């Protein structure tokens, strides 16, 4: 434990160790180096440890055992309770009420009253230890968070994506056909949706990733809303399929729950290195809309928005979530569904003047026709076609025109993007721009810098293609732009190319979320750097 995680503790942080666990056998198992006598060296004896951290050595093992003396539990069961001692102790340090934990224990172990009794005793013992043992010179209070009034529930990112789809299906009145192939960390979306047959969603576990996306496209062709979900490797496979949706100009929603790569990579670790794949991962000029949630709860609104944009513009929309958001959770305010935006679905039925590639003047979307509509029989496909008529065309000027039209259609989605929210002063020294799951760490770092009196602000982008129309103007109000990302620098390149601004990346690709401390350090470095 100490070997692997001590680096995460900042200097001067609190380190509570269960001395009972640091016996010779465990030290050997943990692989601590041996001294001259052939005994593993106990790290607790290192004076540097107590100098660097606030070290508290507590015999949690023995105290747990003592408090459970008279209970009919065996030694192993008694030892298993020790985590509640630690929880009780930490609860005291942070002045947290014990009642929610007590309720949880009673509920969780309801079938076994002895366990309930044991865990409650140990929890209270830990709490009492903090209070009575005069080891801890400080303890902390935590103010209640400022949260809007309403009914909350715990929500993970993947469940929020699934529920966003269900909400959109209810609003549109058309079914959602969800084709997916199991892949970590996206499988739970398929599993969640499969539970909700009574809502307007049909789930399909396809035979492979390509069948997943093509079945979704077939469903969209039929007048349902096709959705698929995967992670990096699966999105790579779906490239040709998504390209077909671009050419056929059909609505399609693709969830990419990013994970460590390349190739199989680190399936259970988070990363945000698929932005370039989302923007360019298809042959030729194949633009699609790309959006990204910033918190687990935001996934609900992003999924809903993805459906809305896909239908309105007859275009594929990719949602870039990641493993951290997918499995992470937060309290989520259950929205009033009436406040969600409208999703207009208008299937064409008028025969007069119909052509498969007629364009709506505002969105450039072509008409959506349900097969089964009399008089509107037509054929579409992946080959380039004449604008308007939809007949196959190899004509040079037509192809150039179509490439530009498809790009312009995606650009028009910018009219859906609300004004960018800037957290901090409207102009200053450093603007920290992020996307995806780094929202929390960036916001914490920037707010700490602001408390230090620095002229630092942050802006978090949810729309990556097209970018918010006001972003260029905002970037130019700051002396430097910092882009922290869990990749080798992808959004930073987009910003530099798009706005000709000397944005700088902060990049760590460790399969872990970024820490607010390291972002804060990067902000300090950028502030001090000569322009």
Report, in Å, the least distance between residue 92 CB and other proteins: 56
Report, in Å, the least distance between residue 348 CB and other proteins: 13
Report, in Å, the least distance between residue 211 CB and other proteins: 4
Is 379 a residue that touches other proteins (CB under 8 A)?
Answer: yes
Q: Which of residues 185-214 bind other proteins (CB under 8 A)?
A: 202, 204, 206-208, 210-211, 214
Strand 201-205, strand 176-180: pairing: parallel
Is 383 a residue that touches other proteins (CB under 8 A)?
Answer: yes
- Tell me the C-alpha distance between 50 and 11, whole Å: 11
Member of 43, 218, 472, 511 binding other proteins (CB under 8 A): 218
Cβ proximity of 30 and 6 under 8 Å: no
For 161, list phi and psi in degrees, rounded to 5: -60, -45
Is 172 a residue that touches other proteins (CB under 8 A)?
Answer: no
Is 260 a residue that touches other proteins (CB under 8 A)?
Answer: no
Member of 149, 375, 396, 418 binding other proteins (CB under 8 A): 375
- Tell me the C-alpha distance between 25 and 18, whole Å: 15
Q: Which of residues 94-153 bind other proteins (CB under 8 A)?
A: none
Report, in Å, the least distance between residue 353 CB and other proteins: 16
**Candidates 67-75, 171-179, 273-281, 286-294; binding stretch for other proteins (CB under 8 A):** 171-179
Nearer to other proteins, 378 or 524 (CB): 378
Tokens of 215: 């079945």
How many C-beta atoms lie closer than 10 Å to residue 456's C-beta? 28
Cβ proximity of 301 and 291 under 8 Å: no
Member of 166, 183, 224, 315 binding other proteins (CB under 8 A): 224
Member of 117, 240, 387, 416 binding other proteins (CB under 8 A): 240
Nearer to other proteins, 207 or 336 (CB): 207
Element (H, E) at 357: none
Report, in Å, the least distance between residue 216 CB and other proteins: 6
Cβ proximity of 267 and 184 under 8 Å: yes
Report, in Å, the least distance between residue 166 CB and other proteins: 17
Is 182 a residue that touches other proteins (CB under 8 A)?
Answer: no
Return the bridge partners of 456, or none: 430
**Candidates 65-73, 242-250, 264-272, 475-483; binding stretch for other proteins (CB under 8 A):** 242-250
Report, in Å, the least distance between residue 371 CB and other proteins: 4
Is 354 a residue that touches other proteins (CB under 8 A)?
Answer: no
- Tell me the C-alpha distance between 134 and 84, whole Å: 20
Contacts (Cβ under 8 Å, ≥6 apart) of 318: 235, 242, 254, 255, 256, 278, 288, 289, 290, 291
Q: Which of residues 386-425 bind other proteins (CB under 8 A)?
A: 391-392
Nearer to other proteins, 341 or 371 (CB): 371
Member of 216, 364, 464, 526 binding other proteins (CB under 8 A): 216
Member of 42, 77, 175, 335 binding other proteins (CB under 8 A): 175
Report, in Å, the least distance between residue 399 CB and other proteins: 17
Report, in Å, the least distance between residue 484 CB and other proteins: 38
Member of 125, 244, 253, 303 binding other proteins (CB under 8 A): 244
Is residue 264 classed exposed, middle or buried when 0-12, 13-18 and 19+ CB atoms within 10 A define those classes?
exposed
Nearer to other proteins, 239 or 472 (CB): 239
Question: Helix, strand or coil for residue 437?
Answer: helix
Q: Where are the beta strands (DSSP E) in 209-277?
A: 225-230, 252-258
Tokens of 427: 């102009």
Nearer to other proteins, 67 or 386 (CB): 386
Report, in Å, the least distance between residue 300 CB and other proteins: 24
Nearer to other proteins, 160 or 165 (CB): 165
Report, in Å, the least distance between residue 433 CB and other proteins: 37
**Candidates 243-251, 357-365, 423-431, 508-516; binding stretch for other proteins (CB under 8 A):** 243-251
Dihedral over Cα of 282, 283, 288, 291: its sign: positive
- Tell me the C-alpha distance between 401 and 219, whole Å: 28
Is 374 a residue that touches other proteins (CB under 8 A)?
Answer: yes
Vertex 291, ends 438 and 422: CA angle to 5°? 55
Is 252 a residue that touches other proteins (CB under 8 A)?
Answer: no
- Tell me the C-alpha distance between 185 and 256, whole Å: 9
| The CA-based dihedral angle spanning residues 394, 398, 399, 402, taken in that order and rounded to the nearest 10 degrees | -140
Member of 226, 281, 440, 466 binding other proteins (CB under 8 A): 226
Vertex 155, ends 151 and 159: CA angle to 5°? 125
Element (H, E) at 288: none
Is residue 514 classed exposed, middle or buried when 0-12, 13-18 and 19+ CB atoms within 10 A define those classes?
buried
> 314-343: buried (b, 16+ CB within 10 Å) or exposed (e) per residue?
bbbbbbbbbbbbbbbbbebeeeeeeebeeb
Left, alpha or beta for 329 (phi > 0: left; psi -120 to 50: alpha)?
beta
Report, in Å, the least distance between residue 182 CB and other proteins: 15
Nearer to other proteins, 137 or 283 (CB): 283
Report, in Å, the least distance between residue 276 CB and other proteins: 23
Binding site for other proteins (CB under 8 A): 175, 177, 179, 202, 204, 206-208, 210-211, 214-224, 226, 240-241, 243-244, 248, 370-383, 391-392
């Amino acid at each position: 434990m100490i070997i692997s995680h001590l680096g995460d503790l900042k200097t001067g942080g609190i380190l509570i160790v269960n001395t009972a666990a640091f016996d010779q056998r465990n030290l050997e198992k943990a692989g601590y180096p041996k001294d001259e006598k052939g005994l593993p060296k106990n790290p607790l004896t290192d004076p540097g440890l107590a100098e660097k951290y606030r070290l508290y050595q507590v015999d949690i093992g023995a105290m747990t055992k003592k408090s459970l003396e008279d209970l009919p539990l065996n030694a192993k069961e008694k030892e298993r309770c020790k985590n509640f001692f630690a929880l009780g102790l930490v609860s005291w340090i942070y002045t947290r009420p014990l009642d929610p934990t007590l309720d949880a224990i009673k509920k969780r172990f309801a079938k076994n009253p002895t366990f309930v009794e044991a865990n409650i005793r140990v929890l209270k013992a830990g709490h009492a230890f903090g209070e009575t043992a005069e080891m801890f010179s400080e303890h902390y209070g935590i103010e209640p968070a400022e949260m809007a009034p309403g009914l909350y529930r715990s929500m993970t990112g993947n469940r929020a994506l699934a529920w966003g789809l269900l909400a959109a299906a209810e609003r549109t009145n058309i079914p959602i056909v969800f084709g997916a192939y199991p892949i970590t960390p996206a499988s739970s979306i398929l599993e969640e949706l499969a539970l909700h047959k009574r809502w307007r969603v049909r789930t399909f576990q396809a035979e492979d990733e390509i069948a997943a996306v093509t079945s979704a496209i077939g469903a969209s062709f039929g007048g349902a809303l096709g959705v698929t979900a995967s992670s990096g490797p699966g999105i790579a496979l779906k490239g040709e399929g998504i390209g077909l949706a671009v050419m056929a100009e059909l609505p399609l929603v693709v969830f990419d729950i990013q994970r460590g790569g390349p190739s199989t990579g680190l399936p259970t670790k988070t990363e945000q290195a698929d932005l370039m794949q989302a923007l360019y991962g298809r042959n030729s000029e194949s633009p699609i809309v790309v959006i990204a949630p910033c918190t687990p709860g935001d996934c609900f609104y992003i999924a809903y928005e993805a459906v809305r944009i896909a239908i309105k513009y007859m275009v594929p929309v990719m949602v870039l979530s990641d493993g951290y958001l997918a499995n992470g959770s937060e309290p989520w305010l259950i929205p009033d569904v009436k406040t969600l935006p409208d999703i207009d679905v208008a299937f064409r039925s008028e025969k007069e003047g119909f052509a498969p590639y007629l364009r709506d003047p505002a969105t450039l979307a072509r008409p959506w026709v349900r097969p089964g509509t009399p008089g509107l029989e037509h054929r579409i496909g992946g080959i380039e076609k004449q604008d308007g008529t939809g007949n196959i065309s190899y004509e040079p000027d037509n192809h150039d025109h179509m490439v530009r039209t498809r790009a312009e259609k995606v650009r028009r989605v910018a009219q859906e993007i609300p004004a960018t929210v800037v957290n901090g002063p409207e102009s200053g020294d450093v603007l920290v721009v992020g996307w995806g799951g780094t929202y929390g760490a960036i916001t914490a770092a920037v707010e700490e810098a602001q408390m230090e009196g620095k002229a630092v602000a942050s802006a978090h982008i949810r729309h990556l293609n097209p970018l918010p129309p006001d972003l260029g103007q905002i970037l130019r109000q700051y002396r430097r732009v910092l882009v922290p990302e869990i990749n080798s620098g992808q959004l930073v390149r987009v910003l530099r190319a798009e706005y000709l601004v000397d944005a700088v990346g902060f990049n760590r690709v460790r399969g872990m979320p970024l820490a607010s401390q390291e972002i804060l350090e990067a902000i300090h470095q950028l502030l001090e750097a000569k322009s």
